[in-house]
Amino acid sequence: MLLSKKLISISVLFALAGCSAQTTVETQQKPNSNHVTAAQTGSFGDQGDGTYINPILNADYPDSDIEQVGDTYYMITSKQHMSPGMPILKSKDLVNWTNVGHAFPKLSWAPEYNWDRMNGYSFGTWAGDIAYHEGKWYVYQIDYQNGLMVTTADNIEGPWSEPIMMLPKADVLDDPAVYWDKETKKAYMIINTGKKQKSPDNKIEGNENRIYEMSWDGTKILDEGKLVYTGMGAEAAKIYKIDGTWYIFMAQWTMGDKSTKPGVKNPKNDRKQLVLRSDDSIYGPYEVKTVLEKGTEFNNRSASQGALVQAADKSWWYMHQLIQNDDIPFQGRPQVLDPVTWIDGWPIIGVDEDNDGIGEPVKRYKKPINGYPIAAPSSDDDFSSDKLGFQWEWNHNPRDSHWSLTERPGWLRLKASKVLPNNSNHGPKINEWTNNDGSDSDFWRAPNTLSQRMMGITTGTAVAKFDISGMAPNQLAGFVRYGGVFNLLGVQMDESGNKHLFYMDKMGNKTLGPKLTTNDLYVRTSNARNKATYEYSFDGKAFKAFGPTFTIAFGKWTGDRLGFFSWNEEKDAGYIDVDWFTYDYDGPKAAK
């Protein structure tokens, strides 16, 4: 059953007080899928009154692109080294989104994403483009370490093809986007090639963006590309042709502080949305205008990189992410929906709050389309299906022999693999996308960590029930919160077979707790903004705090996540079973 908002408040109060006294809540039973509750609203998303509050997807759904087919909108977002990769969501009203699946069932194109390497942190699937052309679905993306690729499907739910490699990494940096021009029967792709093809003659600072001609079937590049724009951090381009005029939407950094790079946390640096406009040709010449910048909302987080869409009433909208250039985004890079107003042929995004001709993001606004119920991506799970829910993703490709939903029907079984070696070929590499703190800890080299996104930035409580009877000596297993840092609450079995509760911090420091003599363990974690705690229980009724109040954080280009871990320090041995997981947070959830 879902925890009530009242229970969230109680657990958060105890968490903030650092209280170690027992707290009593209703018995945690296996969730009943037939239990009917009313739709829930909260501090973001659909408000149930014809309005919405941004971010509409207040979780780690970065780098969006949207394709409309009929009356349904389909969105992809990147997820780096998580597997399956490139989540797909759908919506009827641009506000309420639900899961469809993933475009990449496995990150199958390179060995560093496999469970026996786990060496692909921050890479994998980056910003992509989703398209529907002549009855076939396409998803394009550039893996920084491997190059440009496309996967295709006849049905949005899959199956998706093995990726087709289209250009090598030596030529391209990131962010492909395609356009089929039905008038000329030509297909195009725009790509940020960075400085990889930059000539000494190009004195403009920043990234080069090139347009390539593409085969009509969308799988081959036909030429060497033509340079159309260069700018500081210029990327994330999308091509549109509206009433005969070409528009290229593009994100670009403006540097208020030259001492830091684009993307580095610094409120002085702003990522704006530009539009290039040409009446002549897809290759230009182009006029350029800034149409979106950060405003008074969202604590100075920059706004850009998204997709232009149109509703049935002909109104225009822009879905985009907020950027991690300050200290707030422990939930990741969320999605914001802004209205678009056309002024003198330019699409001004949001509301021009300072009358400078540039839009800023809105906080609350009327919904584009009415009449559809409140919905949200899945979260709760009783593991009654023989397939894993779309909300779950593995840290790198899983070891499929070491997890199961069928060995014990109604439970998720996570078997423990021996933690991978601590060397340069395994685990995180230290680079500009990776936190150094704790990167050599066992957690980052433990296969089959399973998790889902944290939702919102106010309050939330997640609870899971474990059966620890299958554990083996030298095994560690339990509940994890992690993004840029990890914090664990679980069980460790020593060589003598004794089980102890333990808490582990982001540096791998372990605090042992009481010896456990029962097989059932309930773990609860609550957060108030970026401060979180753990509690445990043996009966699902009385919970007791263990471990400190800790800080959850963004890092490795990932927001905070909630999930399960299981590894063994010495050999492949032991398992834990997860009976159910519930997550209540201050945001929309569908009636069920």
pLDDT at 17 (0 to 100)? 34
Residues across the chain = 592
Residue 220 CA neighbour count, 13 Å, CB half: 5
pLDDT at 555 (0 to 100)? 82
* 54-366: in CATH 3.40.1280.10: no
Q: What is the pLDDT of residues 549-577, one digit of tens each?
A: 999 988 888 999 999 999 999 999 999 99
What are the residue ranges spanned by the domains of the chain?
Answer: 5-33+380-585, 54-366
Secondary structure string (H, E, C) spanning 191-235: EEEECCCCCCCCCCCCEEEEEEEECCCCCCECCCCEEEEEECCCE
DSSP 8-state symbol, 405: S
pLDDT at 249 (0 to 100)? 98
Q: Which residue has the tokens 């001709």?
A: 357
Residue 316 CA neighbour count, 13 Å, CB half: 13
pLDDT at 588 (0 to 100)? 97
Q: Where are the beta strands (DSSP E) in 450-507?
A: 450-453, 459-467, 475-482, 486-493, 499-504
Is 453 buried (19+), middle (13-18) or exposed (0-12) by CB count in 10 A? buried
Q: Give the distance from CA 461 to its chain's centroid.
A: 19
Q: Do domains 5-33+380-585 and 54-366 have the same CATH topology?
A: no
Coil, strand or helix at 298: helix
Taking alpha carbons only, the member of 232, 208, 234, 229 closest to residue 285 is 229
Contact between 506 and 486 (Cβ < 8 Å): yes
* 5-33+380-585: in CATH 2.60.120.200: yes
pLDDT one digit per residue (tens) for the chain, 592 residues: 233 322 333 233 333 333 333 333 334 456 554 444 789 999 999 999 999 999 999 999 999 999 999 999 999 999 999 999 999 999 999 999 999 999 999 999 999 999 999 999 989 999 999 999 999 999 999 999 999 999 999 999 999 999 999 999 999 999 999 999 999 999 999 999 999 999 999 999 999 999 999 999 999 999 999 999 999 999 999 999 999 999 999 999 999 998 988 878 888 889 999 999 999 999 999 999 999 999 999 988 899 899 999 999 999 999 999 987 777 789 999 999 999 999 999 999 999 999 999 999 999 999 999 999 999 999 999 999 999 999 999 999 999 999 999 999 999 999 999 999 999 899 987 654 445 567 889 999 999 999 999 999 999 999 999 999 999 999 999 999 999 899 999 999 999 999 999 999 999 999 999 999 999 999 999 999 999 999 999 999 999 999 999 999 888 889 999 999 999 999 999 999 999 999 999 999 998 7
